[in-house]
Amino acid sequence: MHPYIAEVIGTAILIIFGGGVVANVVLNETKGNGGGWIVITWGWAIGVFMGVFTISQVSGGHINPAVTVGLAAAGLFDWAQVPAYVAAQTVGGFLGGVVVWLAYKDHFAATEDEDVKLAIFSTSPEIRNYSTNLMTEIIGTFVLVFGVLYLNSAGFFDAQSGEVLQSITIDGQAVGFGLGALSALPIALVVLGIGLSLGGPTGYAINPARDLGPRIAHAILPFSHKGPSDWAYSWVPIVGPILGALLAAGLYRLL
């Protein structure tokens, strides 16, 4: 599998779980209607785990432009690949949004609240104040990317050389110290924590593709009682996460 295709698939999986749990909680006549914030944050965390775990051996399992930019800024990823990764992630977000709509098609028809439907595809602030909304997204993404950077570079400290070794050689074979695909689990727990602790003000996009791809799907898909896609706010979950990722990468390199 090509890494770009992997990023499309991984991001689509993220949105199927994440957008799906929001649909289950907020749409009318679902089994999970009224399940609340705890259910939503767990659904997103599992989406991160599945999205990263399934494709990490192919593409690194970024499934988030902020993670891709953060890794590149930290010197752990090739800048030349960043545009294609971001494009693939955005396409995956769009496709994931379409799948969620298909799965809950009857419940979209049974729900008249336009804002509820938009919330399945994109984030929005509880109190609209662009400066503070932006700050919230910067902080949340900083926490995420800072954690990703240290999980990505997990190694073994060699006291003699003073270096962090990514692997050692035993009987002629390199043995690594990273978590490999299982790094998806602690990252999922970080996302769960961000949702529980910092998700209240803006819905914690912390991922431009998670917001932009499904928002495009919302604008295109045909369903009744559909309001505007709130493009006036759409720049916040793009700019905020990118700035947070760059700050995390800067601190990582400084340390």
At 56 the pLDDT is 86
Mean pLDDT over each residue of the chain, to the nearest integer: 90
Average pLDDT over residues 111-117: 95
pLDDT of 9-48, one tens digit each? 999 999 999 999 999 999 999 999 999 999 999 999 999 9
Residue 220's alpha-carbon distances to 12, 95, 215, 248, in angstroms, are 17, 12, 9, 34
- When pLDDT is cut at 50, 70 and 90, the band that residue 177 belongs to is very low
Number of domains within the chain? 1
At 60 the pLDDT is 87
- When pLDDT is cut at 50, 70 and 90, the band that residue 173 belongs to is low
Domain CATH for 51: 1.20.1080.10
At 175 the pLDDT is 47
Query: Residue 159: which domain range?
Result: 3-254
Query: Percent of the chain having pLDDT more than 70?
Result: 87
The span from the CA of 98 to the CA of 27, in Å, is 16
Average pLDDT over residues 119-141: 97
pTM: 0.90
| Side chain identity at residue 246, one-letter code | L
The span from the CA of 3 to the CA of 84, in Å, is 10
At 200 the pLDDT is 96
